Structure 1
Amino acid sequence: MTGTAPGRPPRTAWRARAKTRIAYLEAQLERERVKPCSEDRKTLVEGMRGHLKKAGAAADEDFGWRRAWSGSAAREGVWSNIRSAEVMLLQLVSDEEAAGRASDVMALVKDHLEADDPRRVRLGRRLRSIISGEISPSDRDLMVRALDAAYNALDDELARVRSLRNILWTATFLVLLGVAGLAVYGWFFPQSLSICFTPKVDPGGASGVTVVCPTAEHTDVSAGTPASELAESRDILTVEIAGLAGAALTVIASLRRIRGTDSPYMLPLASAVLKFPTGALSAFLGLLLIRGAFVPGLSDLDSRAQVLGWAAAFGAAQHLVTRLVDDRAQMTLAEVGRTTEAVVDPERAAVKESDVPGETGAPGPPAAFQDGEGPHEGAQEGTRARAPVDEGTEGARPRAGP
């Protein structure tokens, strides 16, 4: 493997952003390293240093001739190590700084974990106490686990974007391969894939007809001559070029729906490029259907201009299919950083986050849950005091345990 020279400017914007983040985390690590260290703390310091070193090496990596398809691996290597280093940093900082980072952790958790995820629910219940400085070792462990889970969920979301991007590029390549194969086959065997039409009898002679092909119009042709014999090598290629032009028009029109995104992998670009070979293919198939009288109301075309016009129209018509791909791409991008409204699973969480204290209109939790415990933890331990409940009072809160 060949790395870039030290001090060389990053090749891409994401590498520059990653190196800036690495420099910040290295400064944080140096600050924590000089503090008195236990064996566990030394292990965390060394682990964080190792992750930052790997992230820096991945950001500087130059894959040479493999660069075109190695960018995703480099990106994943950089950001996965940076996120692991940030999780370790949360374990190293003081209680006061951990309390200050609690809101940032909660924001990430809300972006990437489901509403009924037990880590999100418990962290939401303890958030106010943590911010006020009442942080315990179990609270810090909860923050670390929740942050790690949020980063793992983010990785899964980006993996779905990357997977769809790869599918689209693969589909584009296969369709392009088919279009090129048709053009090559039509070049060498034009009669077998003829898209020439015989619209009318030539008025100059009772026995003459006109044959219309994508690249030429033949007049006064003997009535017994098959139209396919007049097909030329450039016919299919010409039709595909007209289909490409029609597809290009739909790509320009679809740009109004494309929004900028901070997600990597350029998914909208992959979706747009797919339209071009699909337009060329649909132009050829559309004219083939007209020639075979499969389109009701359409007879043989009268002129070369009509042939090319219909080819462009069929090329633009591919949008009826590819717009579904556009919608899927936009939906996948929208799912990054936006959790779905999951159904509450009683085995995962006792309540939804709407019961978290401090949120508008949300009732407070039962007394047994004030420290972020689950529905049965306090009852099983038997160590947490319960608020007295008057069973005869209407609206009294039920007990946490049996």
Structure 2
Amino acid sequence: MSKPILDVIVVGAGHAGISVSYYLAKQGVSHLVFEKGQIGETWRSQRWDSFKMNSANRLNLLPQQATYFDDPDAFAGATEFALALESYAHQENLPVKEYCPVVSVHTDQQRGVFRVTVSEQGKDTAYLSRRLVIASGSQNRIWVPDWANHLAQPVVQLHASQYKNAHQLPAGNVLVVGSGQSGTQIAQDLLRSGRHVFLSTARVGRIPRRYRGKDIFDWLVTIGFYNTLTEEVTDPSLLTVKNPQVSGAGQRGKTSSLQSLARSGAIILGRADRADADTIFFQPNSSANVRYADEFSQQVKQRIDEYIQKNKVLAPLADIDLDDVPDEEAACASDLTQLNLVQETITSIIWTTGFRGDFSYLPLPVLNEERFPKHRNGIGAVEGLYFIGLPWLRKRQSAIILGIKEDAEFIVSHIVKSGLPGRG
């Protein structure tokens, strides 16, 4: 007996897919959510043991989610956040099918539906739906530079998603490549464990953990930092700017800066760009990367100060935060442009070089030349196809958990208004 045609199929049961499912359920839209693993799978399997969210628990609640975390101002670990997603999905009785990876998607133009094939209990099963929401994000395929293959085999190489703790690494020093959120947190984790760490940096901004009496995220929300519309961005380079460094480590989080890592013993290097069997070469830009991070923090604080003054907000003066004090001479930066792994006793490399989206199961017309989804505000290039959970989907806030509720509500509203059978 053939399965009924669903109104919507959602691919992915992370915070984006679960939020979409919530709004679909509230609208009485028949749907299923397919997840390749467990609910919140990437939070469970692609984070290290000491990982902390960089936004406070109270900012990470899903639509109408009751307070889940014991301390709203603390920063949850990855597993804790995944369990919160799971609890929410069960509480709302959302139709999630776990361990059902999507194999392929095709369009049935005659019937105007999507044919979604999933691997379910060891066999391929096809489902039909009138609308399709891709909520698998753009962080599901490991990316490491090709030249990493030039390195000699004895060096242990792990991607950030494979790293758990220092105990899984052989004795010796560690090179961390990448100084974004993952790179700085992992470098700090290794330093706390007593490892000697070399950190290859990139052009990444940073922000203080707290400023003038508030958590920095509270200020960023208040001043409208995250409300920048994608369609209003005139400088395309803004769309590729990495999220600024900030850490949720510790009881109330902390400022994360290259100079603070250097004080803990890290050697701050420039951007890694090539290698041979035993040597990695770096661009001579470590000082520039330190200054860029410092300047970013200064600019954000200036925007906050201007907002406080303009709106006559009562706010205390800023406390002294040693980790946020600019390193004006970039004294923490090393001028080394190459490392011989044998001579420096570097036995492990952690690649915190990010991910790419894997949309290989989608029909080709919906992807651009870079194999990234073509969409406008999350509405795909093929009728009935939607995306959510992508950076700058509609606004700057689309890249963070805080912004997913608004995007999910927008997508579901568009689906309902698009004319599902029996609806206006």
Q: TM-score range by the shorter chain?
A: under 0.3
TM superposition score normalised by structure 1: 0.26
Structure 1 or 2: larger strand share? 2
Q: Which has the higher contact order (CA 8 A, sep 6+)?
A: 2
Structure 1 or 2: larger helix share? 1
Q: Which has the larger radius of gyration?
A: 1
TM superposition score normalised by structure 2: 0.25
